[in-house]
């Protein structure tokens, strides 16, 4: 379990909503649960910024956006050990999600999201990370 870099992207709009995707049942990580819009690994020789742009394009078809760095932290679990670099994107976006990576995506009001945390609807990583970066995300609105 070597420490390796990963990227996460929280996509929000000015109406106080966050875009979430539901992982496919066949995925290894949090199958069937709602998760952040984009997550992935930094490839060898790739910068963190290159990784977040690639993962956003591959995962949800998002190409024209300005990622804002929110922070980083070490995520340590039984399966992996990652240095997670967290980004946010704020705006009105059209998505073209890759169906191989997700089965559903939708906008969720932040109040609705917070009300439903801890009820087994969202991935534990999403809930934990949101609590960690909530102030930074809300400050972008």
Residue 74 burial by Cβ neighbours in a 10 Å radius (0-12, 13-18, 19+): exposed
Q: Which residues contact 131 (CB under 8 A, 6 or more apart)?
A: none
Cα 81–23–131 angle (5° rounding)?
55
- If one counts every other C-beta atom within 10 angstroms of the C-beta of residue 8, the result is 25
Q: Given this model, what pLDDT does residue 113 score?
A: 92
pTM score above 0.85: yes
Per-residue pLDDT of the chain (141 residues; tens, 9 = 90+): 788 999 999 999 999 999 998 876 666 666 678 999 999 999 999 999 999 999 999 888 888 899 999 999 998 888 789 999 999 999 988 776 655 555 588 899 999 999 988 888 899 999 999 999 999 999 998
Q: Among all chains, which residue has been given the structure tokens 């932040």?
A: 110
Query: Which tokens go with 112?
Result: 């609705």
Q: Which helix (H) or strand (E) holds 81?
A: strand 81-90
Distance CA 33, CA 23 (A): 6
Q: Given this model, what pLDDT does residue 110 score?
A: 92
The helix/strand/coil state of 50 is: helix
Q: Given this model, what pLDDT does residue 102 score?
A: 53
């Amino acid at each position: 379990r070597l420490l390796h870099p990963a990227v996460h992207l929280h996509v929000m709009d000015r109406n106080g909503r966050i875009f979430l995707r539901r992982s496919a049942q066949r995925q290894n990580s949090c199958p069937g649960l709602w998760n952040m819009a984009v997550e992935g690994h930094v490839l060898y020789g790739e910068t963190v910024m290159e990784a977040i742009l690639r993962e956003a394009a591959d995962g949800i078809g998002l190409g024209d956006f300005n990622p804002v760095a929110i922070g980083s932290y070490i995520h340590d679990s039984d399966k992996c050990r990652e240095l997670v670099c967290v980004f946010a994107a704020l705006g009105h976006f059209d998505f073209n999600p890759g169906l191989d990576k997700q089965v559903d995506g939708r906008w969720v009001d932040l109040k609705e999201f917070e009300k439903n945390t801890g009820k087994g609807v969202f991935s534990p990583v999403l809930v934990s990370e949101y609590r960690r970066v909530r102030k930074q995300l809300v400050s972008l609105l």
